[in-house]
Structure formats: C-alpha cells, structure tokens
Structure 1
Amino acid sequence: MNPSGDVMKDSSVNLTCSIDANPAAKYTWYKENQLLLSGEPQLVFTSVQSSDSGEYYCTAENELGKTTSEHVSLNVKYGPQTSTLSVSPTGEIVEGSSVNLSCSSDANPAANYTWYKENLKLLQGPEGVHHFSSISSEDRGNYYCKSENKHGQINSASLFLDVQYAPKLLSVSV
C-alpha cells in the first residue's frame, strides 16, 4: 500500500499486488470478500473516501495455480463532517423530568464533544450525551455541541430547550 498505514480522506492511495508467475497471472481485487476489480495489479484511489475503509486483498491466477495475498487494512481518517444535536424525550419538557441532549458526529477517529449553553462552555469529553436527571427552569436556553478530533471540528446547530413549569410564587406585596 502506498502511502502505508492510515490515510487522510481525499488523498491518493495505490494498492499494489506483486506476484512472480510464469506464465503471467491474472489479478483480482477484493474488499472484505467482495469482488472489486479484475485484471490489474494495482488498485488506485485518486480521492479516497471514508467508505473505502476496510480490508483488501488480491488473488493472482494462471493455468498452473492460484495464490492469495495477505490482507491489508485501509483506515481513512477525517475530521467531523457533521454534528447533529437532538433531545429525548421529544415533545414538551416538564420541570423535574429526565432529559438527554445527544450529539452525534461522523468522524475518524471518533470525536470528542464540548457542550455549550448560551455560548458558555458546560463540559467536555468523549460522551455525546448531556444528561439532566431532574431538569429545572434554570436549564431553559439555547444549547449546542462542538464535535472535534485532531483532523478538524464542527459545531452543531443550536437547539432551544424550553422547560415548562408550574407557577412559582415570587413575592407578595401590600
């Protein structure tokens, strides 16, 4: 494999099958046991994508026999492509209920998440869930998350968390 090891999304990658055979061998390429291409000793990716990650191998065959190469792993690395924020349960959120904000992202390696309320940082870590065991009216506001790995970062859209609550007696005056 050239380049060897992990590769960045959109880079160029060549997988080469080198076999010594007489008469010349016919090459066949496989990705995780699925037939890809037949005939060429090279498998060329001009712009490798995340869907190209996986295990590859080739076979070479002539009228005297067939051999199979070792497997090579292609691991395509990329920064977060999307960052999606959702709330559960959906619908009306009532004070005192349990609520989860979930942030998900497509990234390799997996993203770390930073949570924000009204642009103030709340917490950071590998978990994509911010849990309110008993949500209060003070938790009402705009939330978003940032998904980040060493290859990039992206913010989710903002989500307004509206917490419903019963009337509270603030003061009585005469």
Structure 2
Amino acid sequence: MCCVTVIQSQDGWRVNYPQTDVCAAKGSTVKISCGYTYPPGIRYSDIKDRFWFTKEKDGEPVDLKTDSEYSGRVKYGYYKRTLIITDVRESDSAEYKFTLMTNKTGEKYTGSPGVTLSVTGLQVQVRRSDSTWLELTCHSSCVLSGHPEYVWYKNEKYIKTASSLLVSSASTDRYSCYLGGSSGQRSPAVYGPQRPSVSASPSAEMLEGDSVNLTCSADANPAANYTWYKEHEDSPRASGQIFTITDFTAEHSGNYYCEAQNEMGRSNSTLRLITSSGKSHSFFCSLTHYINNPTKEVTHRKRGL
C-alpha cells in the first residue's frame, strides 16, 4: 500500500489523498479519505456539492450514493471527505475520485488520479511443515494494510485468532479464516478428500474385448488428485479421475484402488472387477474406504450381471 500523500492541484484547487492504493478483504468495510483546499476568492458557501465517484454519465461524474451498484453500502463522513463502503465486493475494485462543484455554471474540480481500491477474497494456503503437521495461512491476492490477524474456524466453530495455524496432518476437519477486526466473509474451507465414489461403466454385461471406464470422484478442497493402482502392483496404472481399460480380458480382473489426495490428506476406495469364463463377464464390485488411517474401512457391495 502507498502511504505517501499525493496532491492534485490546479489554479488554487487542491485535493490530497493520504493513500492512493487500498487493498480490502471481500465483505469488509473500507474507508477512503481525502483533504482539499480551494483558491482565494472562493468561499465555502460557493461549493454547492462534493462527492466521490467512479463513473461518468454524459461527461458528468455520478455520485456513488446514487449508483445502484452501491445502494445501501455507501456513506460519507467528515463533510464528505471520507468515503465508507460496507460489504465490499470484488466488483468494487476501481479508481475512486473526489470532485467539487461550485455555484458557478460548469465549474468543478476533480482530484485525478484518485485512489485505486483492490478487493480480494481470502484463501487458505496449505503447506506441509513435516510428516506430522500442516501449516495453514490466510492469503489474499494483495497486501492488506497494517499487520492483519486472522480469525480461524474449525468445523464452523471459532478456535483462535492468529496469523497462521498448525494442524495435524491426520486431521479430517474443515478449516477456514477471515480478517480479524472486520465483518468480512470467511474463506472457503479447506479439508481432505471425503469418501470417494467409484464406479464402472458400462456396468452391465459386456463381451470380451470391450472397454470399461473406471471413475473416481471425491469432495475435497483443494481439489483432489487421483491415482489408480491394481492390487499387488507397486506402480500406478493411471492418474486422473477416469481410468480406461481397453480390450478387457480375464487378466484384467482383480482389485483396483483409487486414491484421492490433496495437501490436507488422502482417501482410498477399491473397485473389484471379476470376469467369468466365456465371452462375457460379470462384475462383482466391492467398495472399500480409507481416510488417512488404512486400518479403518467401510465396505459396500453390489452385484450386477
């Protein structure tokens, strides 16, 4: 953020902005201020209007208080020298200028360039500290003013106020944050992959030599990466949500493991494919679920012919 006072002047008119670049968290309240002077011969009573604007219509600035996009969210303080915007949105990112108009026809002065506001949403960044701990930090795309502290939530409940957070790498909880001292919106929660859903298509009877698509999907933030393994094999068979087996034969039967993994953890499911003798085969699908601890499993079975 720039903290140097910038003065715009012309013929005795002067507007100064203490800050020309302001960064704010989405949902918070922002204050932008200025000071001004006017030339000799102009009295205070000669200034009929003064306001903040970002747009012009027919060559004339549009008062933010009349702009429908800011309806109910804009207030002026200290003789309109302070602009207050509540519940800021990313669409509020713009250049804000202060203008003065006198009783004399067509006489006005605008402090230009103005103040650039950047509105950013917060995101939780995950970094593995070691094999036991993860470090969570609340991140914005621009530098927030001062020394911001963040309020942390676990599973929608407040836990602490701190610049960062250490959590167990085996945690299955959801963590989010927002900027302390504001009414800003919380960041999206981060969490490890939930129970993966695995399926085979087609799931009905097929002839040998046909293809089958194995699909794995898990709810996770950050988004999960997927890896497919076959039982008793060390090397992965494929990566990505969909694994296609072409020219299906009896040798392809067996257990296929889908692992969904992100920075917060991992989760596994198993799909069992069994071929019958002859030209066709049937599926016997067994789904086995692990989250972080492979000793915990939940099994679901269904049979199709």
- TM-score, normalised with respect to structure 1: 0.55
Structure 1 residue aligned with 2:264: 151
SS in 2 for 1:123: coil
Query: Which residue does the alignment assign to 1:27?
Result: 86
Matching of residues 86-105 of structure 1 within 5 Å: 86-105=199-218
Q: Flag structure 1 segments of 5+ consecutive residues without an equivalent.
A: 1-12, 31-54, 59-67, 168-174
2:250–2:275 CA contact under 8 A, matched in 1:
yes
- Distance in 2 (CA, whole Å) between partners of 1:93 and 1:121 is 29
Which of 73, 77, 85 lines up with 2:121 in the alignment?
73
Q: From the superposition, tell whether residues 122 and 139 of structure 1 become closer, same or farther in structure 2 (CA, over 3 Å).
A: farther
Identity score, percent: 36
Establish whether residue 161 from structure 1 lines up as the match of residue 295 from structure 2.
no
Instruction: Write the distance in 2 (CA, Å) between the matches of 1:124 and 1:80.
Output: 20
* Contact 1:85–1:144 under 8 Å retained in 2: no
Evaluate the alpha carbon distance shift between residue 144 and residue 116 of structure 1 in structure 2; reply closer, same or farther with a 3 A threshold: same
Q: Does the residue aligned with 2:251 lie in a helix, a strand or coil?
A: helix
1:142 paired residue among 243, 255, 261: 255
Q: Is the 8 A contact 1:95 1:163 kept in 2?
A: no
Query: Which position in structure 2 is the counterpart of 1:16?
Result: 28
2:231 counterpart of 1:118: yes
User: By how many angstroms is 1:101 displaced?
Assistant: 0.8
Q: Deviations over 1:114-153 (max 9, x none)?
A: 2232353451664122211101101111222111122211
SS in 2 for 1:120: coil
Shift of 1:91: 1.4
**Are the aligned partners of 1:80 and 1:105 in contact in 2 as well (CA < 8 Å)?**
yes
Q: Deviation at 1:56?
A: 7.9
CA contact (8 A) 1:94 1:164 kept: no
Per-residue deviation at 1:108?
A: 3.0
Determine which structure has greater relative contact order: mean sequence separation of CA pairs < 8 Å that are 6+ residues apart, divided by chain length.
1
Structure-2 change in CA distance of 1:26 and 1:112 (3 Å) = closer
Residues matched between the structures, number: 124
Question: C-alpha separation between the residues in 2 aligned to 1:121 and 1:83?
Answer: 21
- Are the aligned partners of 2:229 and 2:237 in contact in 1 as well (CA < 8 Å)? no
Describe the shift of the 1:93–1:105 C-alpha distance in structure 2 as closer, same or farther (beyond 3 A): same
Relative to structure 1, is the Cα distance of residues 93 and 143 closer, same or farther in structure 2, using a 3 angstrom cutoff? Answer: farther
Deviations 1:71-123 (A, max 9, x none): 31233343212311111112124321111111112223332222232353451
Q: 1:119 to 1:80 in 2, by over 3 A?
A: farther
- The answer to whether the 8 A contact 1:85-1:159 is kept is yes
Structure 2: segments with no counterpart, 5+ residues: 1-24, 33-75, 94-115, 124-187, 280-305
Based on CA coordinates, which of the two structures has the bigger radius of gyration?
Answer: 2
Give the letter aligned to residue 233 of structure 2. L
RMSD after superposition: 3.5
CA 14–119 in structure 1, closer or farther in 2 if over 3 Å, else same? farther
3-state SS of paired residue (2:86):
strand
SS in 2 for 1:138: helix
TM-score normalised by L of structure 2? 0.34
Q: Distance in 2 between matches of 1:125 and 1:159?
A: 14
